[in-house]
Amino acid sequence: MLNKYPLWKNLLILLVAVLGFVYSIPNLYEDDEAILLTNESFEISESDVNIATTALEAAQVNFFGMEINDGNMIVRVDTVDDQLRAKTALEEAFTSDYIVALNLAPTTPAWMQSLGAKKMARGLDLQGGVHFLMEVDMEAAIERRMQDNLSAVRSILREERIRSRAQIADDNRLEVAFNSSEDRSRARSEFIDNFPEMQFQNREVGESFVLDMILTPDTILQIQRDTLQANRTTLMNRVDELGVAEPTVQQQGADRIVVELPGVQDPAQAIRILQRIATLQFHLTAQPGSPRSSYETYEYVTPEGTQIVDVSNDVILQGDRISNAVSGIDEYSQPQVSITLDAQGGNQINRVTRDNVGWFMDILLIETKSRTNLVLNEDGEEVEETEFYEEKRLISHAQIQTALGRQFRITGLTPREANDTALLIRAGSLSAPMTIVEQSVIGPSLGAENLQAGFTAVQVAAVLVVLFMLFYYRVFGLAANAALILNILLIFTVMSAINATLTLPGIVGIVLTVGMAVDANVLIFTRIREELANGAPPQRAIDEGYNNAFSTILDANVTTFLVALVLFTIGTGPVRGFSVTLMIGIVTSMFTAIVGTRALINLIYGGKKVKTLSIGKYASAASTADAS
């Protein structure tokens, strides 16, 4: 029978409509302004809640909710002003071990959250927040690799008992001088296996036989790519660990990374979050009698007391060779950190420790931090200036008992130090230093205005389309309007499900989708009118209209989808926000326009003896054709 869907298909369409409605509803619930209190070492307890309550009441901050979720505490407040005052009060009440961050708390009902229904993430332009453009020091990345290679070269030469003088000659060249060509040949054969990324050249300088070890341009380019990707991953992990909701960390160009933290209104706090990045360096303890310029002195604090340690300046292993770090307890119920190195790091640490069994290895934890200083500007006025500096701390001074491999452990730490060290290594090991070259703040009021303006645009566009379709296509227009509403709900549902971020350009994509969603119905309805005008019975006209228009609709939507896919692939920021909603809208509109409207038309006209169709001005022509 023409224009009749089986029961299972109607039920399936109904299920999709119900799911679209339920999973899009959370977007109607506005988030509460909130404060997120976290601690990297342990979970928040009830005693912390009591301290927070006392501090907020003393500061006369209005708050209406305080809850512990996943070991973190969320404090809900009424306004942004209350949020800032609450943050100040909590920072004064808790020690530096705690992290107090501005945040947003969802208000979606618990039963929806239990079903996995959640709001779409909103970008900076709709929610407000902070934006940073961070630059990776690529010269430092190359220098660090060269220092790493120099340490490995010296280790191999000591192991093979080959006398030489090795140094870094320039940015990408190591210079190793030997007393004889035989020593140079022996060393070269060893280096070729251990440094496949380098080129080797022999030359003579006076009575010295020199071997140049040069990083190839391809290797330098690969180091830069790996460094940028590693730092991007580090920033993503670090921001996620600290509880910032829906962050965006994207590569921009060859040496820069864009970091956007929606919902964060305090740039100083965001800078501290980003700059709490740690790098490990492995050294040997300086030998007695070493020149003062060859080592630095550190205090090593243990439960038994403080020890002064002279740490050699030679780096035997950099932190970027660590692939994983996990805190735990050893067989003596003492805290430990289990370290896993990559293949090259494992080879390096094995060579060094094999030659230094019985001596001591030191591990430095290097953190990049920031401080604000008051300086005079050109007009003689005092302004705040952010200064970045490195803080080094000796976290391990242990005797080498045996040659180490890719996996070993660090002991002698307190439980908190072990947990902190593992966390900072795992989430914060930078391959190269980074500096913030640009920062901006989008206030919550501006974001709210953008969001309201965007949704107003969607509403106006939808109302105009709905009125046009009703006026021009009557009952068929009513079916198209119902499908249009379902299409918008499905867009919100899909974006929420895949954690896509809604931006102002994304709203533009939704507005465009509103027009494209009814465009397919216009093609179908036009074909139905043509069939009616040509004398086809109403039921056949409906069937032919949908069948004949399908290929045209498919071609148009596929080509548009491919263009949107290209924009998403090569675009950044606003362009990707637009392309995401456009691609999702194309897929959902294909379903609603072709399957959804036909299901409604089938329910209205299917299986009935119909003489006329309420489809606009051609209804009378259809009646005449049918009567004849």
What is the model's pLDDT at position 623? 40
The yes-or-no verdict on residue 310 having pLDDT over 90 is yes
- More reliable by pLDDT, 277 or 25: 25
Confidence of residue 583 (pLDDT cuts 50, 70, 90): very high
- More reliable by pLDDT, 86 or 125: 86
What is the third-level CATH fold of 224-442? Answer: Gyrase A; domain 2 (3.30.1360)
What is the model's pLDDT at position 263? 65
Residues with Cβ within 8 Å of residue 509, at least 6 apart in sequence? 577, 578, 579, 580, 581, 582, 585
Confidence of residue 624 (pLDDT cuts 50, 70, 90): very low
- More reliable by pLDDT, 242 or 615: 615
What is the model's pLDDT at position 308? 92
User: Quick one: which of 223, 247, 199 has its CA closest to 320?
Assistant: 223
Structure tokens at 580: 């995401």
First-last CA distance in the chain: 23
Confidence of residue 40 (pLDDT cuts 50, 70, 90): low
Range of lowest pLDDT (323-332, 365-374, 566-575): 365-374
pTM of the predicted structure, to 2 decimals: 0.59
Identify how many contiguous H helices and E strands the chain contains and give both numbers.
17, 22
What is the model's pLDDT at position 625? 38
Let me know if the fold of 32-105 is the same as that of 139-219: no
pLDDT tens figures, 92-133:
888 766 777 777 788 888 888 888 888 887 777 777 777 888
What is the model's pLDDT at position 412? 66
Query: What is the number of other CB atoms lying within 10 angstroms of the CB of residue 399?
Result: 11
Confidence of residue 620 (pLDDT cuts 50, 70, 90): very low
The yes-or-no verdict on residue 446 having pLDDT over 80 is no
User: What mean pLDDT comes out for the span 218-228?
Assistant: 87
pLDDT tens figures, 161-190:
888 888 888 778 899 999 899 999 989 988
Range of lowest pLDDT (46-55, 80-89, 368-377, 465-474): 368-377
- Nearest-angstrom CA–CA distance, 524 and 548: 8
Structure tokens at 180: 């004889």
Q: Mean pLDDT over all residues of the chain? A: 82
- Nearest-angstrom CA–CA distance, 337 and 144: 25
Helix/strand/coil for 19:
helix
The yes-or-no verdict on residue 420 having pLDDT over 90 is no
User: What mean pLDDT comes out for the span 345-355?
Assistant: 86
Look-up of token digits 């060249």: 173
User: Helix axis angle, 138-159 relative to 343-355, nearest 10°?
Assistant: 40
What is the third-level CATH fold of 32-105? Answer: Alpha-Beta Plaits (3.30.70)
DSSP conformation class of 429 = B
User: What mean pLDDT comes out for the span 606-624?
Assistant: 67
Helix/strand/coil for 136:
strand
What is the third-level CATH fold of 139-219? Answer: Gyrase A; domain 2 (3.30.1360)
Domain ranges of the chain: 7-26+443-627, 32-105, 139-219, 224-442
Q: Is the domain covering 7-26+443-627 a CATH 3.30.450.20 domain?
A: no
Radius of gyration, CA atoms only, the chain? 33
Residues with Cβ within 8 Å of residue 28, at least 6 apart in sequence? none
